[in-house]
A = this chain, B = another copy of it.
Amino acid sequence: MHILITGAAGMIGRKLTTRLVAEGALNGRPIEKLTLIDVVAPQKPEKFSGKVEAAAADIADPAAVRAAIAGRPEAIFHLAGVVSGEAEVDFGKGMRVNLDGSRALFEAIRAVGEDYRPRLVFTSSIAVFGAPFPPAIGDEFHLTPLTSYGTQKAAVELLLADYTRRGFLDGVGIRLPSIVVRPGRPNKAASGFFSSIIREPLNGEEAVLPVADSVLHWHASPRAAVGFLIHAAGLDAGKLGPRVNLTMPGVCCTVAEQIAALRRIAGDRVASRIRREPDPLVARIVAGWPSRFDPARALALGFRAEASFDDIIRVHIADELGGKIAA
């Protein structure tokens, strides 16, 4: 089994690589080779007995993408992309990387020819949805993104379905929830506080909450996201049918419930490190985001997220903090 990961240097890409190396197999077949590309060269995983190619590559450069495909990887995880904030600030860059880059990858696969039809797992996002919403967004709700990032993801979903229908590749698109708790330092993403209010208090630091406690959102852990990717890679195309893009399951909860979960797990002192400092701009952005889904198809196809926000916090403590909390 030869696996290509685009965006392999990103947070999810690194966790996916680590998990694949640890398991040594995908869909029950031993992994012999990993091709890892990103805008900066991804680190080669340690303790992997197979072959690794790790290279810096511009996903929107057809020649670079053809080179990544030349070894005919049987499974492709297409994670590469610029994030929501950057796609909004730099419209041309978002279009080029997120839309043209995906298309360059699909075209490179198509150009290989008839007998090459890899499973391609594409990470879409709940940003493909835009308000107003029904109380729970079902699998047949239309995509009306309110960001350029969401627009680019939705357009690639359409292309993925058509390239799959025509037999050029074997695609599965998974719409990731907001991933928390992201490891690392605070960033400037509007959604950053969802991770900050858990991560910083657990590190003994103060976190700022810019929105009301009543804000409702849809979450899964980085570990669950990697699980979605691996499950998607093994999905039976016959069961999937022509609607290859799926909203992933997640945990729907308010900020108040997230803080209550933190208090249950880490105590009052940790939870008291959250300082409320309303930011009307962030509040307005977040108000346009979807909050609750009814991901019936993904659940029926066996995708699983955490059962509660408590579990999401426990995953963070286990995977990032070695099981320890700064009380």
Q: Is the Cβ of A162 less than 8 Å from the Cβ of B151?
A: yes
A162 → B minimal CB distance (Å): 4
Q: Is the Cβ of B143 less than 8 Å from the Cβ of A140?
A: no
Q: Which of A230-245 contact B (CB under 8 A)?
A: 242-243
Interface residues of A (CB under 8 A from B): 91, 130, 134, 139-146, 148, 151, 154-155, 158-159, 161-162, 165-166, 242-243
Q: Is the Cβ of A162 less than 8 Å from the Cβ of B143?
A: no
Inter-chain pairs besides A143-B143, A154-B158, A155-B155, 15 sampled, C-beta below 8 Å: A91-B166, A134-B140, A140-B141, A142-B142, A142-B143, A143-B158, A144-B161, A144-B242, A145-B161, A145-B162, A146-B165, A151-B158, A151-B159, A151-B161, A158-B158
Residues of B within 8 A of A139 (CB): 142
Q: Is the Cβ of B140 less than 8 Å from the Cβ of A142?
A: yes
Q: Is the Cβ of B166 less than 8 Å from the Cβ of A148?
A: yes
CA distance in complex: A159, B161 (Å) = 17
Residues of B within 8 A of A243 (CB): 144
Q: Can you list 18 A-B contacts with CB-CB less than 8 angstroms, sorted by A residue number?
A: A91-B166, A134-B140, A140-B141, A140-B142, A141-B142, A142-B142, A142-B143, A144-B243, A145-B158, A145-B162, A146-B165, A146-B242, A148-B162, A148-B166, A151-B158, A151-B159, A155-B158, A158-B158
Residues of B within 8 A of A144 (CB): 161, 242-243
CA distance in complex: A134, B139 (Å) = 13
CA distance in complex: A212, B165 (Å) = 27
Residues of B within 8 A of A242 (CB): 130, 144, 146
Pick the residue among B141, B155, B162 that contacts A159 (CB under 8 A): B155
CA distance in complex: A166, B151 (Å) = 12
CA distance in complex: A243, B144 (Å) = 7
A305 → B minimal CB distance (Å): 22
Q: Which of A141, A144, A148, A166 has the most CB of B within 10 A?
A: A144
Q: Which residue of B lies closest to A91 (CB)?
A: B166
A244 → B minimal CB distance (Å): 9
A246 → B minimal CB distance (Å): 12
CA distance in complex: A148, B158 (Å) = 9
A127 → B minimal CB distance (Å): 12
